[in-house]
Amino acid sequence: MSLARHPLAQSQKSQRLDHQRHDFRFLQIAGVGLFLALPFIFASLGLTSAPYILDLLSMIGLYALLALSLNVILGMAGLFHMGHAAFFAVGAYVTANLNLTYGWSIMATLPVAAVASGFMALLVAFPVIHLRGDYLLIVTIGIVEIVKIALTNDIFGWTGGPNGLIGVSRPVIFGYRVVKPHDFFYLIWLMVGISTLLFHWLENSRFGRALKYIKEDTVAAEGMGVNTTAYKLMAFVIGAAWAGMAGTIFASKMRAISPESFTFGESVIMFTIVILGGSGHQKGVILGAFLVMGLPELFRQFQDTRLLVYGAALVAMMIFRPQGLWPPKPRLYRLPAPYDQKYPGEEKLKDGDRSC
Amino acid sequence: MAHFVEQIIFGLTVGSVYALIALGYTMVYGVMKLINFAHGELFALGAFVGYIFLVTLNWGGLLGPALAIGCVAIIVCVATALAGHALERVAYRPLRHSDRLAAVVSALGASIFLQNVIMVVWGAQYRAFNASLLPTIVWRVAGQSVPLIRVFVFLTAVVTMAGLYLFINRTRFGLAIRAAAIDQGAAKLMGVDVRKVIAVVFLIGPALGGLAGLLVGIYYGQINFNMGQMYGLKAFTAAVIGGIGNIGGAMIGGLLLGLLETLGDAYISGAWKDALAFVALILILVFRPTGILPERVAEKL
């Protein structure tokens, strides 16, 4: 029996790992705290560019929200979905319409936008959910193109055509009107925080395990009795509903929405945020949002060539690090009881059974 | 009725261009099972290479239209073939054995890269292509007007496709391409050099796409750096309609899509013209994922 296999040795080792993780976790919490204190830090420093930076951080947060919702579909269930902008658009237009035509407050439209986007996802995904890999990819591209054409053509008189809808009001939360860049900063990052937590629970639930199984091997999952179609559809609906809520926030932040904000290109951006950051890992996805949305802003003076570099970086990334910058760790499952304690004397058999 | 026949001719013209581009998608997909997103950009590159010679260097004026178009067509084909080859070497070959998702993202990256190279070099605005290259002859055939330029585009595309069809179905190397498309492993065991097949596919496909770009430039008289995106998606749709991986299917799918679009434009709604192609794509994938000329079964559970 090797030392590492010894129960005592293992517990010591895992204690050490726990300790290290603890330090790391402390750093992460400190980082998040510092990040949330940024508006105050900017205010106390008297930075003139503070509104611009906070605006940018809000935008990054919005894309983080979108990418987190796409991560449910693409990262957790492994469905190649490149039409997320379509659901984002549904949320934004539902909010804008309810607000402009019926005078609903923005926060009241939030659940409606979520339901509308989720329902739309159910409707369009139902017939195509059985398609695999790049077939699904190309269908979702078709969906986002159709939605954009529908928006441009003022479908049912709801979308205002190519000019879009103008004059969406600001959200009011418990009597507080969200107007300033730092208001939106907190609103959006609060939503990112809540979403991360909810999706974390989702990932570690029965549902999340089913999605993981479907991602790794759909046929085997089907064989083990996982209703793959139902789970895939649910992943689609949840992801789309979240994108719809992001649409609500987007509409009230920009105050004007038009079809240009919901193109195939936007879908590609969301897709690459998830892939570059680390498909299936929420922290990675948020990191991806910072890189994909933040870096181009840092290189504004190279306006013409930055997308060129972005394309080249995507290719290089796929060649050298296809799993993304911060991929998820393989999940560890605790075995009910050590094998050798249950069946003493059968030690020869236990090679390789203590798997993760 | 007169209007209808003219629409058919227009549809065939547009469709033949789609078919030319679709061939590149379908050949690459057949052999590598990869959607080459950058193919639309190679098409645009073809248009811009043609622009250099026909407009910037004014070969049309120097050599006369027929000789100029012939020479430029060859140059465009060679240039886009080389670009396609480089693309395969840099962006796809290292990913031959990796995840499909990685290859798709790499293709997207290559597409973004190429599109922005074109934008940086030629700018974001529309470029006017020398419209007076071909004489504006319009024949009257049985009361129908048949413009020379449409006939020219259609015939060029059809002759090229016929050549490709003979190459694929009548030569030894064509046989190797078909074999690699059906089963790479088995083809390797039978002595087919699959690497070479892929390299050649990435020469032929882009060359055809580049030629299509040149034809679009001559036909519409203006080009733009992001023209490849819409044409690429439409041509991919055409390839799916014909049954992806199927060379004859891509040709028929392209022509059908062209007809569908022009007829939809004329009789249903011009604003929804672009949506028609994507609706057709979704319907085909849902109800008949193998396309109209089934050869291979789409992966489906």
Whether residue B96 lies within 8 A of chain A, CB to CB, comes out as: no
Rounded Cα–Cα distance for residues B38 and B106 (Å): 9
**Distance in angstroms (rounded) separating the CA atoms of residues A273 and A289:** 6
pLDDT value at B87 more than 60: yes
pLDDT of residue A344: 56
- pLDDT higher than 50, residue B284: yes
Going by pLDDT thresholds of 50, 70 and 90, the confidence category of residue A270 is very high
| Predicted confidence (pLDDT) per residue in B172-202, tens digit | 999 999 899 888 889 999 999 999 999 999 9
Q: How far apart are CA A96 and CA A108, in angstroms?
A: 12
Closest-approach residue (CA) in chain B for A268: B108
- Which residue in the block uniquely carries the two structure tokens 């020469």? B203
pLDDT tens profile A102-121: 888 888 999 999 999 999 99
Residue from B97, B114, B116 whose CB has the most chain A CBs within 10 Å, to mutate? B116
The two tokens of residue A2 are 């090797």
Question: For B6, how many CA atoms within 13 A lie in the half-sphere containing its CB?
Answer: 17
**Domains defined along chain B, listed by start:** 2-130+143-287 (1.10.3470)
Please judge whether A142 and B281 are an interchain contact, meaning their C-beta atoms are less than 8 angstroms apart.
yes
CB proximity under 8 Å: B 158-197 to A: none
Q: How far is B142 from chain A (nearest CA, A)?
A: 38
B28-71: per-residue pLDDT in tens?
998 888 889 999 999 999 999 999 888 888 887 777 778 888 89
pTM of the model: 0.86
Task: Report the pLDDT value the prediction gives residue A338, as an integer from 0 to 100.
Answer: 66
- Put simply, whether B36 touches A (Cβ < 8 Å) is no
Residue showing tokens 């948020």: A286
Contact (CB, 8 A) for A171 and A109? no
Per the model's pLDDT, the better-predicted residue between B56 and B82 turns out to be B82
DSSP state of B55: I
* pLDDT tens-place string over residues A43-75: 788 777 888 888 899 999 999 999 999 999 999
In angstroms, the separation between the Cα of residue B98 and the nearest Cα of chain A is 9
Report the pLDDT averaged over residues A246-256. Answer: 92
Q: Does A157 touch chain B (CB under 8 A)?
A: no
Terminal CA-to-CA distance of chain B, rounded, Å?
Answer: 45
Residues of A with Cβ-Cβ distance to B111 under 8 angstroms: 311
Tell whether the torsion through CA atoms of A297, A302, A304 and A310 is positive or negative: negative
Taking the alpha carbons of B192, B196, B199, B201 in that order, is the dihedral positive or negative?
negative
Helix (H) or strand (E) holding B140: strand B138-141
**Nearest residue on chain B to A79, alpha-carbon basis:** B101
Distance from CA of B190 to the nearest CA of A (A): 29
**Could A318 and B272 be called an inter-chain contact, meaning their C-beta atoms sit closer than 8 Å?**
no
Is residue B290 within 8 Å of A133, Cβ to Cβ?
no
Quick check: helix, strand or coil at residue B95? Answer: helix
Query: Both tokens of residue B199?
Result: 């390299």
Tens of pLDDT, residue by residue over A184-232, are 889 999 999 999 999 999 988 999 999 999 998 889 998 998 999 999 9
Predicted local confidence at residue A39, as pLDDT: 81
CB contact under 8 A, A150 and B112: no
Residues in contact with A59: Cβ distance below 8 Å, sequence separation at least 6, in sequence order:
A293
Provide the pLDDT for residue B132. Answer: 65
| Partners of A155 in beta bridges | none
Q: Which pair of tokens denotes residue B212?
A: 């299509």
Å between B252 CA and nearest CA of chain A:
20
**Which pLDDT value is given to residue A18?**
53
